[in-house]
């Protein structure tokens, strides 16, 4: 293969011709993958490329249909994660498997020998844990209950759990998705210490900058195959992006300088309770102008969801007001936002955005004329609607067999395009975009960014709620950070630094 990186030492892991099907999908299609001692190897690829599947096979979570695995030069037959751990392989998934009601120490020793002889060995287990914590800069109180820990700390416990079991091969599946920038830095220095000791790390990600920062070597997967391998020092984000999607991308989107116009969204002293009746948004005030993108950065779970639900009319606040073009929204009424020409791009497109059992066309025209759903079918026959749907499918480049295809057959990126096409069709004056590209591949992401900038140029005001700092920096004119339901700070995008935003995201004001 062109660009293959040659090594003179033996790999600790050698996966050869790995194939794995799920029904008709070849999730892995003849993959060869090696991992060497002392390296951080990034496994990069779009969503659905097969990264998690390949590593789940290495971790004994799935069996492969074909192929062989060698660990430390021995043929390995892995039928469960237990087998993998015994061979020194640990894997940390995005969703942690800790017991919240137990302490850090208890979680770490569950299932180990010292766990079984818990009364005898608790002291020595604690000693060993503290030693590991110190060595890898993973400091967490062994006696803290896991439910009291932040997500970043919980991830540390997962890593400690693996190290306590003496793994020398650590697989991390998109580990930074849940972390603040400061926590990402800590994680990266831990990973460097690990490989400094000759251990090996597989770092799964679809984020190019991150992979450039942390890895020694990058293996790119596309549609279940290895399409490229590069030394990190010999590649760049643009090349990697093109390799991932298999075609030339336009490159990062360009933002025109524009003077903002009149205020289109004004939120005053908004106070919102979450489902558990705990304050999720606390006396929040902000405004967005026409021709402006206000980026709201923050780790998810800090009130963003509740805020957009209130704007969309899906939840009532305790107090406060929201005005769109100077007219107050009626709380708890989705029709109020629609009437005010608010385009709504919700966080969870599966749950709230699209009706998955309807056709693409039905979803495209839903709400557009304020028609109740049952009247839709009377209108369906009209040529006008077909023409309208076809035009949107073309304009947004929606990959679907046709307007009559059932919506749930579309991929994530195309679902998001259907949503955008519907919501942006009426030239909205305000757009609330909540995590608009989460989980999408670079190609779809670039397209959506382009469309949002076009809307801003046209004159819409946009509230962009996102935990992806690259996205926030690429699109925003102004940035606010939300933390525990409060705005921690505000800064013009051109004056913003990642460090400052990162501090605010972790609740530090300065
Ligand atoms: N448990 C499963 N059942 C059915 N299909 C699956 C399963 N896991 C993964 N797939 C499919 O396999 C392909 C690769 O998925 P995955 O390995 O999760 O990709 P990545 O981690 O790169 O996003 C996708 O098309 C996905 O839908
Ligand atoms: Mg994955």
Whether 347 is covered by a domain: the verdict is: no
**Do 324 and 453 lie in a common domain?**
yes
**Do 319 and 449 lie in a common domain?**
yes
CATH code for the domain in which residue 166 is found: 3.40.50.300
Closest approach atom of ligand 1 to CA 173: 21
**Do 422 and 432 lie in a common domain?**
no
**Do 506 and 377 lie in a common domain?**
no
Whether 6 is covered by a domain: the verdict is: no
241 CA from centroid of ligand 2 (Å): 17
- Give the residues surrounding ligand 1 with Cβ less than 6 Å away: 22, 25, 27, 45, 47-53
201 CA from centroid of ligand 2 (Å): 16
Last residue of some domain: 400, 426, 452?
426
Q: How many CB atoms lie within 10 A of CB 188?
A: 17
Closest CA to 218 of 350, 51, 433: 51
Closest approach atom of ligand 1 to CA 47: 23
**Do 85 and 214 lie in a common domain?**
yes
The DSSP annotation for 199-241 comes to: -EEEEEES-HHHHHHH-SEEEEEETTEEEEEEEGGG--HHHHH
Find the DSSP H helices in 340-441.
Answer: 360-365, 373-379, 383-395, 412-424
Q: What CA–CA distance (Å, rounded) separates 139 from 156?
A: 8
The DSSP annotation for 52-78 comes to: HHHHHHHTTSS--SEEEEEETTEE---
Closest approach atom of ligand 1 to CA 224: 14
Among all bound ligands, the one having the nearest atom to the CA of 54 is 1
For ligand 1, atom 27, the nearest C-alpha belongs to: 48
Closest approach atom of ligand 1 to CA 45: 22
Whether 346 is covered by a domain: the verdict is: no
Whether 258 is covered by a domain: the verdict is: yes
Closest approach atom of ligand 1 to CA 62: 1
Q: Which stretches does DSSP call E strand in 223-336?
A: 225-231, 263-273, 279-289, 292-297, 319-324, 327-328
pLDDT of residue 244: 84
126 CA from centroid of ligand 2 (Å): 34
Q: Are 38 and 53 in contact (CB under 8 A)?
A: no
Q: How many CB atoms lie within 10 A of CB 324?
A: 24
Last residue of some domain: 426, 456, 476?
426
Last residue of some domain: 408, 426, 444?
426
SS3 label, residue 31: strand
**Do 437 and 474 lie in a common domain?**
yes
Beta-sheet pairing, 66-71 with 478-483 = unpaired
For ligand 1, atom 4, the nearest C-alpha belongs to: 22
* Nearest-5° Cα angle at 432, 431 to 436: 105
**Do 332 and 450 lie in a common domain?**
yes
Whether 143 is covered by a domain: the verdict is: yes
For ligand 1, atom 6, the nearest C-alpha belongs to: 22
311 CA from centroid of ligand 2 (Å): 32
50 CA from centroid of ligand 1 (Å): 6
Q: What CA–CA distance (Å, rounded) separates 179 from 153?
A: 10
Q: State how far the alpha carbon of 423 is from the alpha carbons of 16, 79, 294, 365, 408, in Å.
A: 47, 47, 18, 10, 18
Q: What CA–CA distance (Å, rounded) separates 375 from 382?
A: 13
Q: What CA–CA distance (Å, rounded) separates 407 from 303?
A: 30
Closest approach atom of ligand 1 to CA 204: 21
Whether 408 is covered by a domain: the verdict is: yes
Whether 259 is covered by a domain: the verdict is: yes
**Do 273 and 227 lie in a common domain?**
no
Beta-sheet pairing, 478-483 with 292-297 = parallel
Helix (H) or strand (E) holding 343: strand 342-345
For ligand 1, atom 3, the nearest C-alpha belongs to: 22
Structural domain containing residue 362: 355-426
Token pair belonging to 506:
């972790």
For ligand 1, atom 24, the nearest C-alpha belongs to: 48
pLDDT of residue 373: 37
**Do 392 and 441 lie in a common domain?**
no
**Do 110 and 41 lie in a common domain?**
yes
Q: What is the pLDDT along the chain (510 residues), one digit of tens a residue?
A: 444 566 678 999 999 999 999 877 889 999 999 999 999 999 998 878 899 999 999 999 999 999 999 999 999 999 999 999 999 999 998 778 899 999 999 999 987 765 555 555 788 899 999 999 999 989 999 999 998 988 889 999 999 999 999 999 999 998 987 788 888 999 999 999 999 999 999 999 888 888 999 999 999 999 899 999 999 999 998 888 888 877 665 566 678 888 999 999 999 999 999 988 999 999 999 999 999 999 999 988 899 999 999 998 989 999 999 999 999 999 999 889 988 999 988 876 655 578 888 999 888 887 665 444 335 555 555 677 788 889 889 888 888 888 999 998 887 778 888 888 888 888 899 999 999 988 777 777 888 899 999 999 999 999 999 988 889 999 999 999 999 999 999 999 999 988 888 888 888 876
Contacts of residue 391, defined as CB under 8 A and 6 or more positions apart, other chains included, come to none
Q: What CA–CA distance (Å, rounded) separates 418 from 401?
A: 13
For ligand 1, atom 2, the nearest C-alpha belongs to: 22
pLDDT of residue 350: 53
Select from 50, 62, 441 the residue to mutate for testing ligand 1; criterion: most ligand atoms less than 8 Å from CB. 50
Token pair belonging to 237:
């984000």
pLDDT of residue 374: 35
**Do 157 and 187 lie in a common domain?**
yes
416 CA from centroid of ligand 2 (Å): 19
**Do 20 and 58 lie in a common domain?**
yes
Whether 183 is covered by a domain: the verdict is: yes
Contacts of residue 52, defined as CB under 8 A and 6 or more positions apart, other chains included, come to 173, 204
Q: How many domains does the chain have?
A: 3
Among all bound ligands, the one having the nearest atom to the CA of 18 is 1
For ligand 1, atom 26, the nearest C-alpha belongs to: 48
The DSSP annotation for 350-376 comes to: IIII--TTSBHHHHHHTTTT---HHHH
């Amino acid at each position: 293969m062109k660009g293959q990186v040659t090594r003179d030492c033996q790999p600790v892991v050698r996966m050869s011709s790995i194939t794995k099907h799920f029904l008709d999908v070849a999730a892995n299609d003849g993959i060869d993958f090696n991992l060497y001692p002392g390296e951080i190897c990034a496994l990069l690829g779009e969503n659905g490329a097969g990264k998690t599947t390949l590593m789940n096979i290495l971790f004994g979570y799935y069996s492969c249909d074909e192929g062989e695995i060698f660990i430390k030069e021995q043929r390995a037959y892995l039928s469960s994660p237990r087998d993998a751990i015994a061979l020194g392989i640990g894997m940390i998934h995005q969703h942690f498997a800790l017991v919240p009601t137990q302490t850090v120490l208890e979680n770490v020793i569950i299932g180990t020998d010292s766990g079984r002889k818990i009364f005898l060995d608790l002291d020595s287990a604690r000693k060993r844990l503290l030693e590991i914590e110190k060595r890898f800069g993973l400091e967490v109180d062994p006696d803290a209950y896991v439910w009291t820990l932040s997500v970043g700390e919980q991830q540390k416990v997962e890593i400690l759990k693996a190290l306590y079991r003496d793994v020398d091969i650590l697989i991390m599946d998109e580990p930074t998705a849940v972390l603040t920038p400061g926590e990402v830095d800590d994680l990266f220095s831990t990973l460097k210490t690990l490989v400094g000791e000759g251990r090996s790390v597989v770092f799964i990600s679809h984020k190019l900058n991150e992979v450039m920062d942390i890895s020694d070597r990058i293996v790119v997967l596309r549609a279940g195959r290895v399409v490229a391998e590069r030394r990190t020092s010999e590649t760049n984000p643009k090349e990697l992006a093109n390799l991932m999607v298999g075609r030339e991308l336009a490159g990062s989107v360009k933002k025109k300088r524009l003077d903002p116009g009149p205020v289109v969204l004004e939120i005053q002293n908004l106070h919102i309770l979450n489902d558990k009746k705990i304050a999720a948004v606390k006396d929040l005030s902000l405004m967005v102008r026409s021709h402006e993108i206000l980026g709201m950065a923050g780790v998810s779970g800090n009130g963003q969801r509740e805020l957009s639900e209130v704007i969309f009319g899906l939840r009532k606040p305790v107090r406060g007001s929201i005005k769109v073009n100077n007219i107050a929204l009626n709380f708890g009424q989705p029709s109020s936002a629609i009437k005010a020409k608010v385009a709504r791009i919700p966080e969870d497109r599966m749950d709230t955005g699209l009706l998955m059992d309807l056709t693409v066309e039905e979803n495209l025209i839903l709400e557009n004329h304020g028609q109740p759903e049952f009247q839709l079918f009377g209108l369906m026959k009209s040529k006008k609607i077909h023409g309208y749907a076809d035009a949107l499918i073309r304009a947004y480049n929606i990959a679907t067999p046709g307007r009559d295809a059932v919506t749930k057959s579309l991929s994530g990126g195309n679902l998001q395009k259907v949503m955008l096409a519907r919501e942006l069709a009426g030239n909205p004056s305000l757009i609330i975009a909540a995590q608009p590209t989460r989980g999408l591949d670079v190609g779809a992401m670039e397209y959506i960014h382009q469309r949002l900038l076009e809307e801003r140029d046209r004159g819409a005001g946009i509230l962009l709620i996102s935990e992806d700092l690259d996205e926030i920096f690429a699109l925003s004119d102004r940035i606010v950070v939300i933390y525990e339901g409060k705005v921690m700070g505000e800064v013009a995008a051109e004056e913003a630094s990642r460090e400052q935003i990162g501090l605010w995201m972790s609740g530090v004001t300065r």
